[in-house]
Amino acid sequence: MDDNLHQLRCFGCGTRVPRGEAKPDFRCALCGDLFEVEYPGWSQRGGNDRPNAGALKWLWRERRCSSEALDRSGVWRFREMLPILNSFGNAVTLQEGNTPLYHLPRISKALGIDQIFAKHQGMNPTGSFKDTGMTTAMSIAKERGFEWVACASTGNTSAAMAAYAARAGLRALVLIPDGKIAWGKLSQAMDYGAVTCQVKTDFDGCLKLLIQVVKEAHIYLLNSVNPFRLEGQKTPAFEIAEAFDWNVPDHLIVPGGNLANSSALGKGFREMKELGLVARVPRISVVQAEGANPLVRSFKNSKGAEMEPVEAHTRATAIRIGNPASWRKAARIIQDTGGWCLDVTEAEIAIAKAEIGAEGLGCEPASAVTLAGLKKLQTQGAIQSGETVVLLLTGHTLKDADYTIEFHRGTLLKDEEKAGREKEIDGLRRNAQAVEAIPSAVLATLKDTAG
Ligand code: F0G
């Protein structure tokens, strides 16, 4: 592979390494920070390696009608932006990406912002945004001849990794925090055949443990510290821009957990701007759960310069992370794009999730922080009524059915969590009812609802 096409650059000290030389934990040998993939040829205007914006837009649209396996992937459809493999024949794909962008009419009306959309990454093959990054990084693992891949996970990464490993014919090792992930996700890792270890620690402990493991054994690490994951995760930015006819939205709002996805999307927009595909980059804001908010604290205490880990608690288990690996990257993208970093309460998350459900979409709790965050930003005057907003919904509603059922039964939130919002919550609850097997009993339930 030509290093002019791609190389790794340390996010902290700028050191460049030819792609094969990164250590197994993907930390810079000099400063310990994480890497980004960069494409030196793109900055040489007129150079052979710099893609042509007009030609790309045409080509990517044409591929939507193609029946070639790679063209049918919403990640590899943009492969000119992903020159990371020796051969695209090594790509491991489950036809990920090409996810829907939905307008949210009720939410738009309620907030007085006409143009609110949801980019639903839960509509990927394993039900979360992780698939877009897993297809790229798993392809690298396969091309480099690894037999084993591994991740620590709050559930979605492990589901995606297990599925892609199965497709690639590789073995998968999953470390998950015991008792702290949603059953839907755990069942996926089992179904796709991963070796799944429930470890008596939290996500941060699992990741720490796994880093030690990959230093001792020849196992390819597929957490989002792996920069090739982020290459795939940048592609929804291309889809969003394409959907708006290459006029980017004003705001993109993303949930924050291990804090890689926000910067991946930012990278996608930045690269499009560099190549002349779009004129500007949206403001990217990151929303965390109040009980798992180390980046929010970092912005409050040091304007994003330092981060103290926290002990994380939230029922949005996907983002129950207290020591996020990619926090520096996320801080940078928020600052560079003029976005915000904020947190939302458990009640705000539950209400927002029910409202997204009422739009006929649904999502998992971690995704709903985006709407809860938007409401807060609007109240603070940070988002204007004429602006276009895209919420990134990261996971499918069926990932965590227990959460949804508990909300509608009224057992999810403690009294102190819902204090002052009981009416709003009750208005959204739709508990299932026990009904006798006679028509009049069924019809009576309609009257009750109407009343
Ligand atoms: N939303 C969902 C549904 C997630 O699963 C995650 C992360 C995030 C948001 C946060 O993304 O980490 O890039 O800031 N889940 C990881 C996992 C940690 O193991 O599945 P991030």
Smallest CA separation from ligand 1 atom 6, residue: 318
Residue 241 has pLDDT above 70, yes or no: yes
Residue 450 has pLDDT above 60, yes or no: no
Percent residues over pLDDT 90 in the chain? 93
The DSSP secondary-structure symbol of 383 reads S
C-alpha of residue 261 to centroid of ligand 1, in Å:
8
C-alpha of residue 362 to centroid of ligand 1, in Å:
17
CA within 13 Å, CB half, 28? 17
Closest by CA to 356, choosing from 385, 391, 401, is: 391
Residue 4 has pLDDT above 70, yes or no: no
The answer to whether residues 280 and 311 touch, using CB atoms and an 8 Å cutoff, is: no
Query: pTM of whole model > 0.95?
Result: yes
Task: Name the residue of 134, 151, 156 whose CB sits within 8 Å of the most ligand 1 atoms, as the mutation to test its pocket.
Answer: 156
C-alpha of residue 258 to centroid of ligand 1, in Å:
6
**Which atom of ligand 1 is found nearest the CA of 321?**
18
Question: For residue 180, what pLDDT band results from cuts at 50, 70 and 90?
Answer: confident
**Which atom of ligand 1 is found nearest the CA of 151?**
19
Cβ neighbourhood burial of 404 (10 Å; 0-12, 13-18, 19+):
buried
C-alpha of residue 131 to centroid of ligand 1, in Å:
11
Residue 1 has pLDDT above 60, yes or no: no
Task: Name the residue of 203, 210, 263, 319 whose CB sits within 8 Å of the most ligand 1 atoms, as the mutation to test its pocket.
Answer: 319
Smallest CA separation from ligand 1 atom 11, residue: 257
Q: Give the CA distances from residue 195 to residues 166, 198, 201, 284, 384, in Å, rounded to whole numbers and listed in that order.
A: 12, 10, 18, 36, 48
Least confident of 75-79, 152-156, 445-449: 445-449
C-alpha of residue 363 to centroid of ligand 1, in Å:
13
**Which atom of ligand 1 is found nearest the CA of 330?**
14
**Which atom of ligand 1 is found nearest the CA of 254?**
9
Residues 6+ apart with CB under 8 A from 357: 363, 397, 404
Closest by CA to 284, choosing from 111, 83, 119, 74, is: 119
390-400 per-position pLDDT tens digit:
999 999 999 99
DSSP-assigned beta bridge partners for residue 334? none
C-alpha of residue 27 to centroid of ligand 1, in Å:
20
87-108 per-position pLDDT tens digit:
999 999 999 999 999 999 999 9
C-alpha of residue 226 to centroid of ligand 1, in Å:
14
Q: How many CB atoms lie within 10 A of CB 370?
A: 28
Q: How many CB atoms lie within 10 A of CB 292?
A: 25
Distance CA 69, CA 76 (A): 9
Q: Average pLDDT, stretch 274-298?
A: 97
Give alpha helix (H) positions in 74-155. 105-111, 130-143
To the nearest whole number, what is the mean pLDDT of the chain?
95
Q: Residues near ligand 1 with C-beta < 6 Å? A: 128, 130, 153-157, 224, 255-261, 318-319, 364, 366-367, 394-395
Percent residues over pLDDT 70 in the chain? 97
Q: Average pLDDT, stretch 355-369?
A: 98
Give residue 163's pLDDT: 98
Give residue 51's pLDDT: 83
C-alpha of residue 236 to centroid of ligand 1, in Å:
15
Question: For residue 448, what pLDDT band results from cuts at 50, 70 and 90?
Answer: confident
Residue 311 has pLDDT above 60, yes or no: yes
Residues 6+ apart with CB under 8 A from 446: none
Give residue 451's pLDDT: 47
